Amino acid sequence: MQRQWHNAVMAVAVCIIASGCAGISGGVTAGLEDVDDTIELTEVPFFPQVTDQCGPAALATILNASGVGADPEALKSRIYIPGREGSLQLELLAATRAYDRLAYSIDPDLQALVAELRAGRPVLVLQNLGIGLAPVWHYAVVVGYLPEDRRFVLRSGDQRRYLIDARRFVRTWHRAENWGVVALRPDELPAQPDPQRYLRSVAALESVGATSAARSGYRAAVEQWPLNGLAWLGLGNASYAEGDLDIARLAYQAMLDLEPGNLIALNNIAQVKAEQGCIREARDAIDQAFSILAPGDPMHQHLRQTRREIEARPLADTRACRVAL
């Protein structure tokens, strides 16, 4: 009886292992079939990892490749957590922003990874070298792919040029949810840009006070997606934060043209016009917003606040405003 039970367990174990293998020999390396030329970014610098600090070493690698002179020792105080003997993904992103670089998470697939390499950008990846139940997390930087050997080239640990079998890499990467990130200069777009994710990266940069870098990011975004209202809103807000009210107003107006009746655009236009001394126009904009405001809209409180501020100003338009008209 006990023996039977034992056999059953073993049979299940064999099934699990076999199915795992079957999955791996299947389409795991999908996205690599079309890659028939060697890609290797030999210029990407290498920072050998000290003890358990693969995070600072890997981050220093992509930052330096992006033109930022940051060394692992300086990064250690930003991202290393002694009690966890490692670094968190979120803090890697935050530290990237601290150097005025966009931290852009690539699509979680090999195609996106190769596209970044082709664009000349190394990709920082998280790998799980263990298994689901006993994870062993490791950061490395992918710098190339050799189709003839079916191997990836990594800057990893103390290995400047670590060659890893493509399928093995894919498995370790997959167990870390295919997480990969590139460091972009603020005016640089990723190889396969997703508007929402790109704007989110720029907004994160903006929200920690890097408004100048964020403004470059939004400018790149409106050039790439001129019909995206959020991109114009971001450009408007970053310009506003930099004190460039004319550009801010034009950007908000562009958003409003794309999305007539957009309450955020109307609110911000009213605010900027009031600050420029065009009180009548500011009132018109805020009145228009209230005329289309639905009950319970989350913008309600915000619009009321803006209206209060506008009404507190004297109605006479300034001379500068009349000239602008």
Q: How far is the CB of 208 from another protein (least distance, A)?
A: 6
Tell me how far, at minimum, the Cβ of 204 lies from another protein, in Å.
5
Least distance (Å) between residue 316 CB and another protein = 26
The 3-class SS string of 26-70 reads CHHHCCCCCCCCCEECCCCCCCCCCCCCHHHHHHHHHHHHCCCCC
Using rule CB under 8 A, residue 234 touches another protein: yes
* x-marked contacts with another protein along 128-167 as a string, rule CB under 8 A: xxxx---xxxxx----------------xxxx--------
Distance CA 266, CA 281 (A): 11
Name which position in 115, 126, 141, 166 contacts another protein (CB under 8 A): 126
- Binding residues for another protein, how many (CB under 8 A)? 69
| Pairing, β 123-128 against β 102-105 | unpaired
Q: Output the smallest distance, CB 322 to another protein, in A.
A: 28
Question: Quick check: helix, strand or coil at residue 311?
Answer: helix
Which DSSP helix (H) or strand (E) runs through 163? strand 159-165
Contacts of residue 176, Cβ cutoff 8 Å, sequence gap at least 6: 125, 126, 127, 128, 137
Q: What one-letter code names the amino acid at 196? A: Q
Query: Residues 275 to 314: which contact another protein by CB under 8 A?
Result: 298-299, 302
Which 63-102 residues touch another protein, going by CB under 8 A? Answer: 77-91, 93-95, 97-98
Stretch in the footprint of another protein (CB under 8 A) among 25-33, 47-55, 105-113, 115-123: 47-55
Please report whether residue 264 would count as binding another protein according to CB under 8 A: yes
Looking at the DSSP assignment, which residues form a beta bridge with residue 123?
142
Q: Cα torsion at 35, 41, 42, 44 (round to 10°)?
A: -150
| Strand partners of residue 162 | 154
Q: Which two tokens stand for residue 224?
A: 């790439």
Residues lying near another protein in the complex (CB under 8 A): 6-7, 10-11, 13-14, 17, 49, 51-55, 58, 77-91, 93-95, 97-98, 126-131, 135-139, 156-159, 176, 200, 203-204, 206-209, 230, 233-234, 237, 240-241, 264, 267-268, 298-299, 302
